[in-house]
Amino acid sequence: MSAPEHASSRDGDGKLSIGEVLTELRAQFPSVTISKIRYLEAEELITPERTASGYRKFSDEDVSRLRYVLAAQRDQYLPLRVIKERLDALDRGLQPDANGGAPRAPRLSAAPGMPDVEDFVSGNSDVRVSVEELCAATGLALDQVAQLMDLRILVPRPAGSGFFDADALMIARTIAEMARFGIEARHLRAYRAAADREIGLFEQVLAPLLHSRGPDASARAEENMRELAALSVRLHATLVKTGLPAAIRR
């Protein structure tokens, strides 16, 4: 007869058995049981690994998720359906709310002034927010987002997923700030057209690298594209600045 699962020892890779997880959790959650942990796994709130003989192996992330679930049940009386939705939001890169509310889209900061090459990309590239979360984070209305999607200024990624990445979140926040000055979605067609022309130009310039079979060609093309994009932003900002009336440029 094999030893019970909760009696197995800590693995060499640092993973915990279900019994060791129970021991870690008991100090904070005295009423937790092995049956409870198994139930939360069955509800797909955690997905521990399994050994060839069927034993569960819990990572630090699994234990953290268990703490989150148990605390949400105990302190906020949240049903598992809501907790699962919040865990999904955290998995998509949203940030926990300090007051125990639903996770929120992160604050992505743009570099002050004219961006340099290393400042061009900011934020967490793994972020994925829904349309509703995008609106909540930016203040844009659903109809505004729909207009921006029609103009291909906001594009879900991956296509058809219904989620927006960190770049889309930054675009939406920027547009929301521009809206305070009376700039509407229809005014942004020129930005989309200009961006498309620049993309076409950069693809022509980088065509030799893009079609090269060298071992580092892809990485070099990506880095060159990032640098060209950053230089383009700098040039655009400077041209706009120098084109303004002298009184405003002071």
Would you say the C-alpha torsion 99, 59, 84, 55 has a positive or negative sign?
A: negative
In CATH, the number for domain 117-249 is 1.10.1660.10
Q: What percent of the chain has pLDDT over 70?
A: 84
What's the whole-number mean pLDDT along residues 137-154?
93
CA-CA distance, 224 to 213, in Å (whole number)? 16
* H/E stretch holding 238: helix 217-243
CB atoms within 10 A of CB 11: 15
Domain boundaries, the chain: 5-91, 117-249
Could you read off the pLDDT of 72-109 as tens digits, one per residue?
899 888 889 889 988 988 888 887 776 677 787 776 55
pLDDT band at 245 (very low <50, low <70, confident <90, very high): confident
Phi and psi angles of residue 168, each rounded to the nearest 5 degrees, phi first: -65, -40
Q: What is the CATH number of domain 5-91?
A: 1.10.1660.10
Q: Which three-class secondary structure state does DSSP give residue 214?
A: coil
For the whole model, what pTM was predicted?
0.61
Fold match, 5-91 / 117-249? yes
What is the residue-wise DSSP string for 122-158? Answer: -S-TT--B-HHHHHHHH---HHHHHHHHHTTSS--SS
pLDDT in tens, 181-226: 999 988 999 999 999 999 999 989 988 888 888 778 888 888 888 8
